[in-house]
Homo-oligomer: A and B are copies of this chain.
Amino acid sequence: MTNIRDLAREADVSVTTVSRVLNHHPYVADDKRKAVQDAIRKLGYIRNQTAVQLSTGQTKTIGVMLPYVDHPYHAAILQGIARCAFEEDYRFLTWQTNYVESHEQTVLQALAQREVDGLIIVSHSLAVEDILKYEQYGPIVFCEHHADVSAVYIDHYTAFQKGLAAFQSLGHTEIGICLGRPDSTNSLARKRAYQDTVACTPSEWIYEHSLTIEDGASIARHWLSQPRRPTALLTASDHVAAGIILELRKRGYRVPEDLAVIGFDGSDLAVVLNLTTVAVPYETIGREAFSIAISDTWRDHPQIEIPTTLLNGLTANPAVNER
């Protein structure tokens, strides 16, 4: 592997001059620059990035911690990060944690070990305080709302309120909600929105641990078995909404006539099933998080809220019609 010393020898200049040419620095005589460039071509020189990184103390790499790379919503955030990273000549390392705390520790460790210059945390299960201990090693940007951290987030309280209000304006009063991990920050905000907005909120109408299409199907079956059922269900993901709807239709029930359903995310599933859903611009979240991670603004712990939109489909209407 040829290095800058070989180049210097070949071009009959010093390594400094070679380095200057390589980095497009000024103050290099044209003939020497030419000599170096010729040497580069002749020797087929390729710069070793690792050495650059060690010398400069920068990796030009951002780490991304997320639970699942193949969840559409996480993939959309990745997409935003990928776009931005390319534009800024940065790279990004992705770690899939499955919400396992020891795996999340590995990611934090990577920041401490200078494998990456900064971290974007899409979602996590470790305590925020524990994560923030690693901020001494570099920027950490969350894609969820927490106090005193850099964050790009959607307000799940407001977002859920939008869905609930939509139901109410259609005449629904018996409304249930589906949540993911029950103690996550997002779920807590959602539950608060529910209890603040809706008058009747029995705990049997709060369906927890729902993430997948199959989880949605289970909820539908459970709903069928309940003596007292809500007439409307606000879910935490389009996948869950899809599962509910499919299972219900399979059993001869109608959506929204028998049960109104609103999804969350605004994914492809919402498009093909004509779901009414709360659309989230995930790519924007990724972009914003990235730009904070590579700038100096992170030290001020900026908090950027990204707005959501209620997308009208065909799964939320009735209630009014029913009476």
A positions within 8 Å CB-CB of B: 46-51, 53-54, 59, 61, 68-70, 72, 75-76, 78-79, 82-83, 86, 91-96, 103, 109-110, 112-115, 213, 239, 242, 246, 268-269, 271-273, 283
Q: Which residues of B contact A59 (CB under 8 A)?
A: 50
Select one of B46, B68, B94 contacting A94, CB under 8 A.
Answer: B94
Q: In the bound complex, how far is the Cα of B91 from the Cα of A242, in angstroms?
A: 34
Cβ A272 vs Cβ B242 within 8 A: yes
Q: In the bound complex, how far is the Cα of B95 from the Cα of A86, in angstroms?
A: 8
Decide if the interface of chain A is mainly helix, strand, loop or mixed.
helix
Q: In the bound complex, how far is the Cα of B91 from the Cα of A2, in angstroms?
A: 26
Report the nearest B residue to A245, measured CB to CB: B272
Q: Which residues of B contact A83 (CB under 8 A)?
A: 96
Cβ B49 vs Cβ A114 within 8 A: yes
Q: Which residues of B contact A48 (CB under 8 A)?
A: 54, 113-114
Select one of B70, B91, B273 contacting A272, CB under 8 A.
Answer: B273
Report the nearest B residue to A242, measured CB to CB: B272
Select one of B69, B82, B272 contacting A79, CB under 8 A.
Answer: B69
Cβ B49 vs Cβ A51 within 8 A: no
Q: How far is the CB of A55 from chain B (nearest CB, A)?
A: 9
Q: How far is the CB of A59 from chain B (nearest CB, A)?
A: 7
Q: Which residues of B contact A242 (CB under 8 A)?
A: 268, 272
Q: How far is the CB of A49 from chain B (nearest CB, A)?
A: 4
Q: How far is the CB of A102 from chain B (nearest CB, A)?
A: 11
Q: In the bound complex, how far is the Cα of B239 from the Cα of A269, in angstroms?
A: 10
Taking A48-B54, A51-B54, A239-B268 as known contacts, 15 extra A-B pairs with beta carbons closer than 8 A to each other, sorted by chain A number, are A46-B109, A46-B112, A47-B113, A49-B114, A50-B54, A61-B93, A70-B283, A75-B75, A78-B94, A82-B95, A91-B110, A94-B94, A213-B272, A268-B268, A268-B269
Report the nearest B residue to A52, measured CB to CB: B113
Cβ B113 vs Cβ A46 within 8 A: yes
Q: In the bound complex, how far is the Cα of B278 from the Cα of A74, in angstroms?
A: 25
7 tightest CB-CB pairs across the interface, nearest first? A70-B79, A82-B96, A70-B75, A49-B113, A75-B75, A49-B115, A50-B53
